[in-house]
Structure 1
Amino acid sequence: MNNNTRISLVIATYNWPQALRACIEGCFRQSDRNFEIIIADDGSGEPTRALVEELCARAPVPMRHVWQPDDGFRLAESRNNGILAATGDYIVTLDGDCVPQHDFIARHRQLAEPGYMVTGSRILLSPAFSARVLGEGIDLQSLSLGEKLRYRFQGGLGKAAQLLIKLPDAGRRRHRFSFRRIKGCNMAFWRSDLERVNGFDESFRGWGYEDSDAVARLFHAGVMRKDGAYATEVFHLWHKEAKRDQASSNQHIVLERIANRTTQAAIGLREHGLHTLPVATDKLPAA
């Protein structure tokens, strides 16, 4: 990707301002500054609003806050709101409980390639180490080699190899759909590709599989996938898992769409009034 192309970083959040602060502070220290930040807020309260206002006042890059009322888990709609507010040609999604490494944007820029999306990777932090990071303000981006190894040995970090080895484009191409390593907390897409498949599907309610659905529909529209491991890892702060009441039914929807080679979100970007968005018609040939 050209260095002059602006990237839009869409950060999903919900009522965890302490983690969001760590996430955004990490974004402020990126080596590549040609990006904007959009906080896609799924109905957080006043503490998050106040934090974002404070951070916007000293942000080194353009930053805005898009909010929707709290009406249950509506991550897909929240991400679509962020995409609609974005001005860049390339969209990177990040969750507000993830702290990026200092070269996160630069690595995504390096991996960006027409006809591909990128699914990134994460490094899970233990409950105890997550509490220390937030309570003591530990700078994850500045950990020395010795500290990385020590925290890994102590169980604070779920893995360390991806922190010790950086590959310019590990980007293994996936020419078949797989659920493996699809994490909405770290993905990247060309905006035009998202528009062609109508973005994330807002008919998904409750936790789970709205990210897999987007990847599957893009795949059926001809957009291949690159693996961002050893390049784009983020630190994922520990938290209690969200209720997964809808997970099985959401997965069933994705499996049906894979079988049917569906490309379009049932409720997505066009339903926000963007009637001129293109519709994907170039499905992959039948296997």
Structure 2
Amino acid sequence: MKFTVVMPTYNNRELLRNTLEALNYQEGYDENDYEVVVVDDGSSVDTYSYIKGINKNYKLKYYYLERNQDSCRARTRNHGWKNADGDIIAYIDSDIIVGRNYLKELDRCFSVASDILVLGNRFMLNESIEFDDIATGKIYEKYKFEKENFPMLESRYFMYESSSYNANASLCPWLLCYSCNLAVTKETLEEIGGFDENFKEWGIEDIEFGYSAYKKKIQIVINNKLEVYHQYHGMRNDLIISAAKIPGYEKNIDYFISKHPKALNMNKKSAYRFLEGDSKAYKLLEKLEVSNNVVEFRDKKDLQLVKDAILILSNMPMAKVIVHDYVEETNLDIWIQLLGYTDGTILYYPMSRRLNKKDMEIFLEEEKAREREYDKRLMEELV
């Protein structure tokens, strides 16, 4: 079997049912190509009866883990891949709706190379969806990428506007590794040993997994077409982290720093700001270069000429090669990332995903302020 989609879940059966329904409609794939593994981290509600029979086009495996002192997201993800029959393990969360091209876009990457870690993005929905809209495809018509619709874009879209959709243009590409939309081969998971189950609280375990893969020379690849939908269920956690989660999150940061003291090369306070999403701190990731060279790809027949130009320019030390892809119908994005680190830095931009940087920065400041106020009110209600 080629693909196994693994998802942890906990007391989330309504959203999970939507997630599983969306996986029925993978264009060009059937039950011989992929399976889905749901790992229940000790839900107190009957999840299996609620989702049983939802799978029409794939084999569904359901595992229930008793809740105990070892319970954590890393454990559920490890249980998933260890019970998978697929050669490629795709991780999503149980609140994610995949597009109908999801497996196709994974195939686009893994057909070129196997020693890679593939990352996709999320659309952050701000309202509940109708179950029937998944089968009819209405959800995909209603929610599409729009450059001006900043509230729907996950935080990494904003990061990519600076560092680009080439993972090698970032000093620490492993910081982009979110397991809500991530895929690797089973062989890579075996080599790394899976996710570290010492991360008991919320967060960081997927970033640490990305770092471990990075240290093993696994190439991180950003696929800008691998976009999924995050179902609405309260405040988003990609722009700011809720106050209730901060203590546990910082425990996980402490463990990460103790395990990998040279990964970030900064003090604990700075690491907290950095990993808690301070956009200004993230500017530390950007490389410094001297000269800019722009390569525009406007005609598919010029692909080889564009590649030749990129190779020549990227061999110039301290050069910045900015690639504007207007075609977006080739594997140029993957090819650039498989070059690895070059003397010059290659910034790759699919032009349909370019954002207005000034408007983006204004939105980020205003949205973070709104979310902090919302989170403050929630905390006051709990007291």
Under TM normalisation by the shorter chain, which class is it?
0.7 to 0.9
RMSD after superposition: 3.0
1:182 positional shift:
2.2
Quote the residue 2:115 is aligned against: 115
Matched ranges for 1:242-253 at <5 A: 243-244=244-245, 245-253=247-255
Normalising to structure 2: TM-score of the pair? 0.56
In 2, distance between residues paired with 1:103 and 1:150? 15
Contact 2:7 2:94 in 1 (8 A): yes
In 2, distance between residues paired with 1:77 and 1:48? 19
Contact 1:37 1:64 in 2 (8 A): yes
SS in 1 for 2:184: strand
SS in 1 for 2:133: coil
User: Is 1:19 the equivalent of 2:26?
Assistant: no
User: Is 1:210 the equivalent of 2:205?
Assistant: yes
Quote the residue 1:60 is aligned against: 57
Quote the residue 1:77 is aligned against: 75
| Gap regions ≥5 residues in structure 1 | 163-169, 262-287
Pairing partner for 1:87 from 85, 88, 108: 85
Quote the residue 1:48 is aligned against: 47
Quote the residue 1:282 is aligned against: none
In 1, distance between residues paired with 2:186 and 2:16? 24
Structure 1 counterpart of 2:86, which letter?
G
Distance 1:196 1:125, change over 3 A: same
Consecutive aligned runs of 4 or more in structure 1 exceeding 4 Å deviation:
149-156
SS in 1 for 2:92: strand
SS in 1 for 2:212: helix
User: More helix by proportion, 1 or 2?
Assistant: 2
Structure 1 counterpart of 2:46, which letter?
P
Contact 2:99 2:140 in 1 (8 A): no
In 2, distance between residues paired with 1:100 and 1:232? 9
Question: Between Structure 1 and Structure 2, whose CA radius of gyration is higher?
Answer: 2
In 2, distance between residues paired with 1:79 and 1:15? 16
Q: Deviations over 1:214-235 (max 9, x none)?
A: 0001111111201122x11110
In 2, distance between residues paired with 1:151 and 1:145? 13
1:88 positional shift:
1.1
Quote the residue 2:229 is aligned against: 235
Q: Deviations over 1:86-133 (max 9, x none)?
A: 01111000111000001111111111222211122111011xx22xx0
Quote the residue 2:344 is aligned against: none
| Gap regions ≥5 residues in structure 2 | 158-163, 264-383
In 2, distance between residues paired with 1:177 and 1:150? 26
1:140 positional shift:
8.4
Structure 2 counterpart of 1:27, which letter?
L
Distance 1:80 1:141, change over 3 A: farther
Asked which structure has the greater RCO (Cα within 8 Å, sep 6+), the reply is 1
Normalising to structure 1: TM-score of the pair? 0.74
Contact 1:39 1:65 in 2 (8 A): yes
In 2, distance between residues paired with 1:9 and 1:236? 16
Pairing partner for 2:99 from 79, 83, 101: 101
Contact 1:101 1:141 in 2 (8 A): no
Quote the residue 1:30 is aligned against: 26
